[in-house]
Structure 1
């Protein structure tokens, strides 16, 4: 089982959106028995909360489930439990490297690293920008490319 963890600042906007979209893509591709997905935040502020209303509205509009998703903070065990830790921006990458020095075999990357010539190299946080449509556009594109990458390198 290949395990993917999406990371953002508080785990209520971008990373749960990515988790839901990626899970939807995995289910549609009939790969649920090969890929597991989760999300977490750098901070603990929203632990236990559902995704932000803006994220829920966007996912509802597209009929993408976020059932039972609750925010949690990233923890050091995640470096052993996951194969891919995918962050939304440069600051998340920096914060992840402060939490763990990277000595485990987990692949850490930004979501937009998987998109050729992306419109933005970081996924802007709609908690601050209010632009959930643009966030969805980037996250959706990134998730599709990430899934294609994983299928190729993991031979699934």
Structure 2
């Protein structure tokens, strides 16, 4: 929502996984929130702490808000929960019926563990950064495998 907890965590983790796969030249990654209240802020301290503990860089990450051109710039837009999926529609209402825009998925759709909900809980409210990190790592790994297969990419 505010782009300081879940999304920058997923962005940093996914960047790390993409780099390890040797695909950083072909996969562009960015995160954004549907809310505007944290624009320009670094990731939340809890997110930074968990990424530091796992030696994953978050250098240069700053909160920003979704823009309508994101739907044309990116192939996939990955939301953390259903409320964000709903809110995304307000950023690109002209896309109704347009098939040349990013596919929207929820991150936990890619989870092997098939949780009871496909919403990543917001650690801003729960403080459960480790739990969210574990969901993000596993789901991002499977998201990367999905993209590699779907886009027919070659990993190192």
Whole-Å separation in 2 of the counterparts to 1:129 and 1:36: 30
Task: Name 1:143's counterpart in structure 2.
Answer: 140
1:112 to 108, 111, 114: 108
Q: Structure 2: any 5+ residue segments left out of the alignment?
A: none
Distance 1:24 1:117 in 2: 22
Asked whether 1:36 is paired with 2:28, we answer: yes
Structure with a larger share of its residues in strand:
1
Matching of residues 88-127 of structure 1 within 5 Å = 88-101=80-93, 102=95, 103=98, 104-119=100-115, 120-127=117-124
Which structure 1 residue ranges, 5 or more long, are not aligned? 1-8
How many residue pairs get aligned? The number is 148
Taking structure 2 as the reference length, the TM-score comes to 0.91
* 3-state SS of paired residue (1:38): coil
SS of the residue corresponding to residue 35 of structure 1 reads coil
RMSD over aligned Cα atoms: 1.0
Query: For 1:96, what is the secondary structure of its paired residue?
Result: helix
